[in-house]
Amino acid sequence: MRRITILTLVLLVALALGAYADTSGKVSASVFAVVNPNISCGVITSLVDAGTHQTGEFSADIVFRIDANEEAVNIYAEASPLYKGEQVVSPLVTPIPLALSKGIVINPDDAAPFPGYDEGGKANYIGSFGDIAGYPTVLTETIPFESSQAGHFSQNVVLSVTWNQDDPERPQGIYWGKVGLTAFLL
């Protein structure tokens, strides 16, 4: 008797539910994705002519490109002295030194340094860093810049580097060096 009662109840529940069933159904789910922050750097001018000089300080402007999906980025630079005939290892001629007191001016097209940093974008040298393709470089401080573009930092950045040809008897010829830019997200 008990078994029949349970089967009858199950059957009644199944029939009751079946009576309310539709001929179709529709449900939905929410989906989300996260866009990760990213940044890329490139060089626009890979070979820069710094001109012809006898003595004194001279500068060169090197154009880089930064593209990021955030408005603010940190930027630092590095530069090497200039070596005659690309003779970096055991140079036979003393290289043309960087004008260390000038630092490197970092000038993005559409961005400004955060408050508290040099408004002109001057990044002071902070010491030896390493090398670029075998050229020993000196590193600058890092400066955070905020873009005036809405939601991204996609623009050219000009680095102005100064050297000091301090030897009036330095042998004539072509002197070579390297300049680098590093950018990273805050």
pLDDT at 14: 58
Q: How many CB atoms neighbour CB 2 within 10 A?
A: 6
- Domain range for 140: 39-185
Look up the CATH number of the domain holding residue 166. 2.60.40
Tell me how many domains the chain contains.
1
Could you say which DSSP state residue 85 is in? Answer: T
Is 30 within the bounds of a domain? Answer: no
Residue 15 in any domain: the answer is: no
Return per-residue pLDDT of the chain as tens, 186 residues.
666 666 566 555 555 555 556 789 999 999 999 999 999 999 998 999 999 999 999 999 999 999 999 999 999 999 999 999 999 988 899 999 999 999 999 999 999 999 999 999 999 999 888 899 999 999 999 999 999 999 999 999 999 999 999 999 999 999 999 999 999 998
Say if 8 falls within a structural domain.
Answer: no
Strands of the chain, DSSP E: 39-43, 56-68, 72-79, 83-84, 104-108, 111-113, 122-123, 125-132, 135-140, 143-147, 153-165, 175-176, 179-185
Q: How far apart are CA 121 and CA 123, in angstroms?
A: 6
In a domain, 171, yes or no: yes
Query: pLDDT at position 136, please?
Result: 96
